[in-house]
Amino acid sequence: MTALHDLSVAALAAELRAKRVSAVETAQHFLARAAQHTARLGAPAEGASNGAFVALNEDATLAQARAADARLAAGTAGRLEGVPIAHKDIFVTRDFPTTAGSKMLSNYRSPFDATVVARLASEGMVTLGKLNCDEFAMGSGNENSAWSAVRNPWDASRIPGGSSGGSAAAVAARLTPAATGTDTGGSIRQPASFCGITGIKPTYGRASRYGMIAYASSLDQAGPMARSAEDCALLLSALCGPDPDRDSTSLDVPAEDFSRDLQRPLQGLRVGIPAEFFGEGLAADVRVPIEAALQALVDQGAVLVPLHLPRTELAIPVYYILAPAEASSNLSRFDGVKFGHRTKNPADLIDMYKKTRAEGFGDEVKRRIMIGTYVLSHGYYDAYYLQAQKIRRMIASDFQQAFTQCDVIAGPVAPTVAWKIGEKSDDPVANYLADIFTLPASLAGLPGLSLPCGLGAGGMPVGLQLIGNYLSEARLLNVAHQYQTATDWHTRQPGATA
Partner 1 sequence: MSAKLVQGYEVVIGFETHAQLSTQSKIFSRAPTAFGAEPNTQACAVDLALPGTLPVMNKGAVERAIELGLAVGAHVAERSVFARKNYFYPDLPKGYQISQFEIPVVQGGAVEFYLGDEKKTVRLVRAHLEEDAGKSLHEDFIGQSGIDLNRAGTPLLEIVTEPDIRSSEEAVAYAKELHKIVTWIGICDGNMQEGSFRCDANVSVRKPGQPLGTRREIKNLNSFKFMQQAIDFEVRWQIDQIEDGHAIQQATVLFDPDTGETRAMRTKEDAADYRYFPDPDLPPLVIDRDWVERVKSQMSELPRVMAARFVSDYGLPDYDATTLTQSKAMAAYFEAVAQACQQPKLASNWLMGEVSRRLNAGDGSIEACPVSAAQLAALVGRIADGTISNNAGKQVFDALWKGEGEVDALIEAKGLKQMNDSGALDKIVEEVLAANADNVAQYKAGKEKAFNALVGQVMKASKGKANPQQVNEALKAKLAG
Q: Supply the minimum distance, in Å, between the C-beta of residue 209 and partner 1.
A: 6
- List binders of partner 1 among 92-121 (CB under 8 A): 92, 98, 100, 105, 108, 110-112, 114
Taking the complex as a whole, the smallest distance from the CB of residue 250 to partner 1 amounts, in Å, to 9
**Whose Cβ is closer to partner 1: residue 28's or residue 218's?**
218
- Closest approach, Cβ 329 to partner 1, in A, equals 5
Q: Yes or no: say if 86 and 34 are a contact pair by the CB < 8 Å rule.
A: yes
What DSSP line would sit under 156-204, residue for residue? TTB---SSSHHHHHHHHTTS-SEEEEEESSSTTHHHHHHHT-EEEE--T
Segment lying near partner 1 (by CB under 8 A), choices 121-129, 153-161, 271-279, 372-380: 372-380
Within 10 angstroms of residue 182's Cβ, the number of other Cβ atoms is: 28
Number of residues in contact with partner 1, rule: CB under 8 A? Answer: 44
**Which residues make Cβ contacts (< 8 Å) with residue 297, sequence separation at least 6?**
266, 269, 271, 304, 410, 479, 483
Give CA–CA dist 26/66, Å, rounded. 11
Return the residue of 7, 16, 131, 212 that touches partner 1, per CB under 8 A: 212
Catalytic (active site) residue 187: yes
Options 264, 285, 313, 381; binder of partner 1; rule CB under 8 A:
381
244 binds partner 1 (CB under 8 A): yes
Where does this chain touch partner 1 (CB under 8 A) — which range of 74-82, 209-217, 395-403, 473-481?
209-217
Quick one: which of 213, 225, 321, 476 contacts partner 1 (CB under 8 A)? Answer: 213
Please count the other Cβ atoms lying within 10 Å of the Cβ belonging to residue 246.
Answer: 14
Nearest residue (CB) to partner 1, 305 versus 376: 376
Those residues with Cβ within 8 angstroms of residue 96's Cβ, 6 or more apart along the chain or in another chain:
55, 56, 57, 60, 87, 127, 129, 130
Active-site residue identified among 187, 193, 228, 425: 187
Comparing CB distances to partner 1, the nearer of 302 and 375 is 375
Judged by CB under 8 A, the stretch of 74-82, 225-233, 334-342, 391-399 that binds partner 1 is 334-342
Taking the complex as a whole, the smallest distance from the CB of residue 446 to partner 1 amounts, in Å, to 17
- Comparing CB distances to partner 1, the nearer of 210 and 419 is 210
250 counts as catalytic: no
* Amino acid found at 327: A
* Nearest residue (CB) to partner 1, 169 versus 216: 216
Find the part of the chain contacting partner 1 (CB under 8 A) among 12-20, 25-33, 327-335, 463-471. Answer: 327-335
Examine residue 329 and tell whether it contacts partner 1 (CB under 8 A). Answer: yes
Q: Near partner 1 by CB under 8 A, which window of 29-37, 330-338, 390-398, 401-409?
A: 330-338
Q: Taking the complex as a whole, how short is the minimal distance between the CB of residue 137 and partner 1, in angstroms?
A: 12
Cα dihedral 172/175/177/182 (nearest 10): -70
Question: How far, in Å, CA of 277 to CA of 262, rounded?
Answer: 26
Distance CA 461, CA 487 (A): 14
Measured from the CB atom, the residue of 105 and 200 that comes closer to partner 1 is 105
For residues 343 and 179, what is the distance between their CA atoms, to the nearest angstrom? 34
Catalytic residue among 163, 167, 237, 450: 163
Which residue stretch of 62-70, 324-332, 432-440, 449-457 sits at the interface with partner 1 (rule: CB under 8 A)?
A: 324-332
Q: Is residue 134 close enough to count as binding partner 1 by CB under 8 A?
A: no
Q: Cα(152)–Cα(258) distance, rounded to whole angstroms?
A: 29
Q: Is residue 85 packed enough to be buried (19+ CB in 10 Å), middle (13-18) or exposed (0-12)?
A: buried
Closest to partner 1 by CB, 194 or 470: 470
Distance of CA 67 to the CA centre of its chain: 28
Secondary structure string (H, E, C) spanning 46-83: CCCCCCCEEEECHHHHHHHHHHHHHHHHHCCCCCCCCC
Q: Between 339 and 432, whose beta carbon lies closer to partner 1?
A: 339
CB 318 within 8 A of CB 392: yes
Q: Where are the beta strands (DSSP E) in 266-389?
A: 270-274, 303-307
Could you tell me the sign of the dihedral formed by the alpha carbons of 431, 187, 291, 310, in that order? negative
Q: Could you say which DSSP state residue 278 is in?
A: G
- Residues 28, 242, 303, 353: which binds partner 1 (CB under 8 A)? 353
Which residue numbers are catalytic?
88, 163, 187
Report the interface residues with partner 1, using CB under 8 A: 91-92, 98, 100, 105, 108, 110-112, 114, 209-214, 216-218, 244-249, 325-326, 328-329, 331-333, 335, 337-339, 349, 353, 373, 376-378, 381, 385
